[in-house]
Structure 1
Amino acid sequence: MNRIDRLFAITLLLQSRRVVTGAEIAAHFEVSLRTVYRDLGALSEAGIPVVAEAGVGYSLPRGYFLPPVAFTADEAQALALGAVLLAKFGGQGSGDAAAGALLKIRSILSPQGREEIVRLAKAATVFGAGAAVPGTENLVPCARAVSEQRVLRLDYTTAQAVRSQRDVEPLGVVLYDFHWYLVAWCRLRKAMRSFRLDRVVAMELVAERVPLRPHFDLEQHLKAAFDEEMTRRVQLWFADGFAADRARRELGTSVQQAVKQVGGWEITALVWSESWIARWLLPFGEQARVIAPVELQEAVRREIAALARHHGVMREGQE
């Protein structure tokens, strides 16, 4: 990145956050602190009102904004693709908002840029993702609660069909395995919890504000939540070709290791439920095999026996 682009990007960074330290700017742009100080000085000389507060960081005065900016072709195309994805995985509320934002972006593009964006939007889709992601009607209020640091009051049904009311302090939203989750501090349980949005019966945005949790990192929390204490490690074998490709694709981020073997792949993964993974393995037939644990091998055998009994009953009832 050349210096002109970096100066502009630093201004956008300052505009997007209440306060930024010199070290954060240096890390973001991978430059030295000395370079950061020179750049901030250059911005001040150019008329950008950078405010420096000792021991706190740098900021722009409240209400200060850069004039409308132009997007590069790559930036505009990336936003167009993002709008397509959000329309599919974000539901009507977020999808409509993304479409509205795309219209505004198109309004400041050149005629050629507008034509390219329209053409790209028509030529991009999400194929094979099935029905719309459930629970997206709750995504917009969740996003608002996170951004405004507001308490959410949930009427929630657990996976065990237990219904409860609880106040939560939202910290993030996650799309995982084609389901949206709200990550929040649950006041009822006094612990971090993840709430599947399609299990929310009703949701109310409460006026109460919650304090910032500056040390909370959503990605680190998710990694910690998906550790071996909460999941089971399984070792599976899949035949080369379609079976192995499908397994890696569908297991996704739960795959810990994939080792090429003669005629196939040995995959180590962390899974939430042995009964689920046993049922998931059935369509692979002889193209898959459980290496460990023994409990999963037994679970697969039970599923096969139950399936055989089911089809046996059906055959006996046929005329």
Structure 2
Amino acid sequence: MNKTDRLLAIMLELQHKEIVRAEDLAALFEMNVRTIYRDIQALSEAGVPVIGAPGTGYSLIEGYFLPPISFTVQEAVSLLIGTDFIEQQFDESYRVGAQAARKKIETILPKNIRNETSQVSKTMRLLISDREVMHSKEKEYLEKIRQAILDKRKICFHYVKKIADSEGNRHSVRTAAPYGLVLIQGSWMLVARCDMRQDIRHFRLSRMTQLINLEEQFELPAHFDLREYTPPDDRNLRVLLRFNHDIADKVKESNYHYIEGMEEHQDGLHVVLRVHQLDELLQWVLSWGASVIVLEPESFKNRILEEAQKMLKRY
């Protein structure tokens, strides 16, 4: 830690605690006490109102806060919840950064705001479902891809598609220029220009293996902005389902990303979905058991029937 960073850290410690001993600061920053004395002197000469009490320790004059930024309770809670989110959904380096940011935010808050923020924070909790928990491999890949984006270097990885292609293949090796990362419903998605397809493609990190960063560099197109990027919608297959009334609320709460529209009818909840391939819906539809029926298209009705007959044979 250089001197500038140490001086800032000492100020944060002084602001966070009423009294701080030089010996405690020396132990915290792994410095000798004489260095801490010189740092305190440097802060005083820079205009920071440090008060020293012999045999007791150092403190700041009441009312002095650093940095000169004030937060409302709502703003502070928003920032702290944000650090929770980063800790849960990002890789290790950002997790550590989020923890450090939380400490700094809590430190710079005036006592009355800090107390109120603490009370409000205790009434809120950010939880993620089991399916949203990132495995260590995904965290490792997230960090590698972030670095590749910053360095503008291509990556290579093995990829398993959810649905097999026309030749029955699901596995492939891809080389791609990573443009950005998007978190969708708890899953990280890479937006990249695939060398094989010569176009922008989307890849789930959870379906990647053997990812490596290459030396080959790429140039991000001047017109590309991830914040404004909208992938083309080529879901051309329309599916109509009817759900029983008693599970209608559960279907609405599922937030299934293929759902295009819903409408209550006398015979049940009618749900319209659009997909690339019908098999993308197979597992989701089957998960509702006898509480759902396929109205359209006929080919999907037959696909469900075929799968149900296979299940019956197993039992």
Change (3 A) 1:198 1:69: same
In structure 2, the residue corresponding to 1:237 is in which secondary structure?
A: strand
Query: 1:105 matched to which residue of 2?
Result: 105
Q: Any conservation in 2 of the 1:152–1:205 contact (CA below 8 Å)?
A: yes
Partner residue of 2:219 out of 211, 217, 240: 211
Q: CA RMSD in A?
A: 2.9
Partner residue of 2:152 out of 150, 153, 164: 150
Q: Any conservation in 1 of the 2:156–2:213 contact (CA below 8 Å)?
A: no
Query: 1:162 matched to which residue of 2?
Result: 171
Q: Distance in 1 between matches of 2:128 and 2:190?
A: 26
Query: 1:227 matched to which residue of 2?
Result: 234
TM-score by length of structure 2 reads: 0.65
Change (3 A) 1:116 1:234: farther
How far does the alpha carbon of each residue in 1:69-96 deviate from its partner, in whole angstroms, 9 at most, with x for none?
Answer: 3333222212222222333333544333
Q: Any conservation in 2 of the 1:91–1:133 contact (CA below 8 Å)?
A: no
Change (3 A) 1:78 1:256: same
Q: Distance in 1 between matches of 2:225 and 2:258?
A: 20
In structure 2, the residue corresponding to 1:215 is in which secondary structure?
A: coil
Q: Distance in 1 between matches of 2:111 and 2:210?
A: 45
Q: Distance in 1 between matches of 2:197 and 2:68?
A: 46
Shift of 1:228: 2.4
In structure 1, the residue corresponding to 2:156 is in which secondary structure?
A: strand
Change (3 A) 1:86 1:200: same
Change (3 A) 1:93 1:199: farther
Query: 1:137 matched to which residue of 2?
Result: 140
Q: Any conservation in 2 of the 1:156–1:164 contact (CA below 8 Å)?
A: yes
Query: 2:245 matched to which residue of 1?
Result: 240
Q: Any conservation in 2 of the 1:255–1:270 contact (CA below 8 Å)?
A: yes
TM-score by length of structure 1 reads: 0.64
Higher Rg of the two aligned structures: 2
Shift of 1:265: 1.8
Q: Any conservation in 2 of the 1:89–1:133 contact (CA below 8 Å)?
A: yes
Q: Distance in 2 between matches of 1:81 and 1:118?
A: 12
Query: 2:266 matched to which residue of 1?
Result: 262
Shift of 1:68: 5.8
How many equivalent pairs are there? 239
Q: Distance in 2 between matches of 1:74 and 1:192?
A: 39
Shift of 1:165: 5.1
Query: 2:165 matched to which residue of 1?
Result: none
Q: Percent identity?
A: 23
Q: Which runs of 5+ in 2 are unaligned?
A: 1-66, 162-168
